[in-house]
Amino acid sequence: MWKPDLTRADVTPKSAFLNRRQILAGGAAAMAMSPGALQASEELEPTELKLIRTYNNFYEFGTGKDDPAKYAHMLTTSPWSITVDGLVDNPGTYDIAELIGDIPTEERIYRFRCVEAWSMVIPWNGFELNKLLAKIGVQDTARYIRFETLVRPQEMPGQQRGIIEWPYREGLRLDEAMHPLTLIATGIYGEPMANQNGAPLRLVVPWKYGFKSIKSIVRISLVADEPQTTWVMQNAREYGFYANVNPNVSHPRWSQASERVIGGGFFAGRIDTLMFNGYEDQVASLYEGMDLAEHF
């Protein structure tokens, strides 16, 4: 049975979190006192909520890292409807509550690794995508899932420029979508998802680069063929459909061997990037026999 390496027991209460940071900042002595604290600091210190909400790539609101935090308040997330179509038993356009309201959420603390070589640790609230797929009813001929983000230029100022072809779209192979690590998230730190983080619902695929985890989803389609995805459309030489985190396959413009941890401050340096972002044991079998340098 699959078990995540970051569990509920590892969650730091938000109030205690800042205190602990100060203790850790006090030096190695504080960490040496307890092996648990050391492990916590190495493995899974969740990124501060403030940082999660102010350092975002969400080009719908602009290409600057601070643009989403500046402009995302313009977005209306209620009412919110989602179109489900393609090779499904229950196609239609659903109100969000109707579609996911009865699926219980849980907390999952995942590493989040951006293709730009920075990372965070995020305590998501959400549910496994496979639970939603069970509700939708996936037909036998479906091989892939495809997602689309909302297009509403009057509320998403970044869409007023043709920097990329809107809507933002992403996709997964069906077995990736069914994997228990793959989430639909509706909150972070027990709070409703902030607009700039992809409210009201987004995908989270922790072993892939962040751009795969599409935000503010309005359409979910089950399809037979590999769907077109935004960054592959934008630059197929630099971004692949799979986009699995892989320290051994460089982006043409930078190395993926290491990453900067957001919140580390000036002298934190870098940490080594882990194969499949640290989820190798759980997901490597999905790609058996595939050349990961070719299917990057």
Question: Which residues of this protein are in contact with another protein, per CB under 8 A?
Answer: 50-51, 54-55, 59, 63, 65-66, 116, 118, 163-164, 234-235, 250, 252-255, 257-258, 260, 262-263, 265-267, 269-270
Q: Minimum distance between the CB of residue 31 and another protein, rounded to whole angstroms? A: 20
Shorter beta-carbon distance to another protein: residue 2 or 254: 254
Q: The tokens 């299917």 sit on which residue?
A: 295
Residue 76's identity, in one-letter code, is T
Q: Minimum distance between the CB of residue 82 and another protein, rounded to whole angstroms? A: 27
Count of CA atoms in the C-beta half-sphere (13 A) of 15: 0
Q: Minimum distance between the CB of residue 255 and another protein, rounded to whole angstroms? A: 5
Shorter beta-carbon distance to another protein: residue 147 or 239: 239
Tokens standing for 95? 């109100």
Q: Minimum distance between the CB of residue 257 and another protein, rounded to whole angstroms? A: 6
Shorter beta-carbon distance to another protein: residue 182 or 229: 229
| CA terminus-to-terminus distance, the chain | 28
Tokens standing for 255? 């190395």
Shorter beta-carbon distance to another protein: residue 35 or 265: 265
Q: Minimum distance between the CB of residue 268 and another protein, rounded to whole angstroms? A: 8
Shorter beta-carbon distance to another protein: residue 50 or 73: 50
HEC letters along 156-213: CHHHHCCCCCCCCEEEEEHHHHHCCCCEEEEEECCEECCHHHCCCCEEECCCECHHHC
Shorter beta-carbon distance to another protein: residue 93 or 250: 250
| Helix or strand (DSSP H, E) at 261 | strand 258-261
Which one, of 75, 247, 278, 275, lies nearest residue 158 by Cα?
75
Which one, of 183, 6, 216, lies nearest residue 106 by Cα?
183
Beta strands 191-192 and 183-188 are antiparallel
Q: Minimum distance between the CB of residue 67 and another protein, rounded to whole angstroms? A: 12
